[in-house]
Amino acid sequence: MRTAAAAVSPGELQRRLGVPDAVVIGLGSMIGAGIFAALAPAAGAAGSGLLLGLAVAAVVAYCNATSSARLAARYPASGGTYVYGRERLGDFWGYLAGWGFVVGKTASCAAMALTVGSYVWPGQTHAVAVAAVVALTAVNYVGVQKSAWLTRLIVAVVLAVLAAVVTACLSGGTPQAVRLDIGGDATAAGVLRAAGLLFFAFAGYARVATLGEEVRDPARTIPRAIPLALGITLAVYATVAAAVLSVLGPGRLAQAAAPLAEAVRAAGAPGLVPVVRVGAALAALGSLLALILGVSRTTLAMARDRHLPHALAAVHPRFHVPYRAELTVGAVVAVLAATADVRGAIGFSSFGVLAYYAIANAAAFTLTPAEGRPPRLVPVIGLAGCLLLAFALPPASALSGAAVLAIGAAAYGLRKTINHA
């Protein structure tokens, strides 16, 4: 490791992450606050079709993960789909993917920080949110290995909490609630809307790809880590969703402000409610940690190409992290967390992430067999699925997301015009 570290040039990141670290970072992104909050709105959309919506989201996520893994192995650099779109489809598509990711996920970062605050100290939500952002930005600043270690700890605790929830529901629940209380909208449109809401619970595998420049042997590590992380997450989510549904039924689940806490209370284990609250806060911390990592790496890649200020491309000579990008992202997220409730803005974040993965699938479609192209059907299903889920979102979410992408496209065109003038 000393030799490898010595070979790193001042402008490059250091390859330190193996398969276990990459899997844990993916799990930390996916097994996050979504499982504690996303089930209720998804049940409201699909009713008894909630599990079907979860399956649809998982299929789209699998296709996206496969396309992303093949591309990340081919282009093991920071930036994820920003890099893939640029290399395979052209500069504009790469830029659009990066723009959607950075803007949307910055809002998601603030939302996760506020989620931490609402669970830890509801009366001081904004103060706790800012403190969480500052603390995790500091962790990321001192090196990606420290981030992987902290994420491993958070994932272990959250999995233990979810196991306790499932055990309580299956041992003390009332399965007849599902039969007696259907509720919701179990139509095809409802299932697709639920899938769109649940999809983002799986979106964390992108974090593995965006860290491509810090992964050892990326051609081998990334294609292994992404499907592993996705498979584990799907198993966990399906088990938790089925257990909670068996106790609350779709109708009660759709109305629950804190679904997992409500489920353990209904299952006759109210003593677990504080444990669930702690688990939710830690899950949100894990998501926030991984989100800051991903956004800062995409910012680094865009800054290298001067789509963002080039000063943000600096890499710390000791810690080998994009420290200016991390500090800038942390500062913007802290300001948002201190001044506003951005949960209403997650709609355009969701739309932006689906656009990001749509571009990833289009890029994967252009790979040749010699370049590790996935089966043709995989990127086709992934692209179609992303577009379908994006426009199945509530109209306000789709419109705001499209508007944000249009602003990014206009900024790109203006920059091109100025450079050619």
* Distance in angstroms (rounded) separating the CA atoms of residues 107 and 81: 19
3.40.930.10, 1.25.40.10, 1.20.1740.10, 4.10.520.10: CATH of 15-416: 1.20.1740.10
What confidence score (pLDDT) does residue 97 get? 93
Domain residue ranges of the chain, discontinuous segments joined by +: 15-416
pLDDT digits (tens, 9 = 90+) for 21-43: 778 777 777 777 778 777 888 88
Instruction: Give the residue from 196, 149, 273, 152 showing the smallest Cα distance to 34.
Output: 196
What's the sign of the alpha-carbon dihedral 384, 389, 392, 394? negative
pLDDT, residue 88, reads 96
Whether the CB-CB separation of 214 and 16 falls below 8 Å is answered with yes
As to burial, measured by CB atoms within 10 angstroms (0-12 exposed, 13-18 middle, 19+ buried), residue 384 is middle
* Among the listed residues 396, 380, 407, 409, the one whose alpha carbon sits nearest the alpha carbon of residue 64: 380
Q: What's the confidence (pLDDT) of residue 182?
A: 41
pLDDT at 385: 96
Dihedral sign from CA coordinates of 395, 333, 303, 221: negative
> Which pLDDT belongs to residue 345?
60
C-alpha 371 chain-centroid distance: 27
Q: Is residue 364 over pLDDT 90?
A: yes
Digit-coded pLDDT (tens) for 309-360:
999 999 888 878 889 999 999 999 999 888 866 555 666 677 888 899 999 9
Contact 50, 43 (CB under 8 A): yes
Indicate the burial class of 159 (C-beta count within 10 angstroms; 0-12, 13-18, 19 or more): middle
**CA nearest 301: which of 110, 60, 56, 75?**
75
Show Cβ contacts of residue 126 under 8 Å, excluding neighbours closer than 6 positions: 114, 117, 337, 338, 339
The β-bridge partners of 17 are 215
- CA 220 – CA 144 distance, rounded (Å): 19
Please tell me the distance from the alpha carbon of residue 236 to that of residue 261, in angstroms, as a whole number: 17
Is the pLDDT score of 84 beyond 80? Answer: yes
pTM recorded for the entire structure: 0.77
Share of the chain above pLDDT 90, in %: 33
Map tokens 């677990």 to a residue.
272
126-152 pLDDT, tens per residue?
999 999 999 999 887 876 555 667 777
Q: Pick the residue with more confidence: 210 or 317?
A: 317
Helices and strands (H, E) in the chain, number of each type: 19, 0
User: Hey, how many other C-beta atoms are within 10 angstroms of the C-beta on 366?
Assistant: 14
pLDDT-based confidence at 176, cuts 50/70/90?
very low
Cβ contacts of residue 370 below 8 Å, gap of 6+? none
Three-state secondary-structure class, residue 366: coil
Does 213 have pLDDT greater than 90?
A: no
- Closest C-alpha to 66, from 284, 273, 226: 226
How crowded is residue 176: how many other Cβ atoms within 10 Å of its Cβ?
10
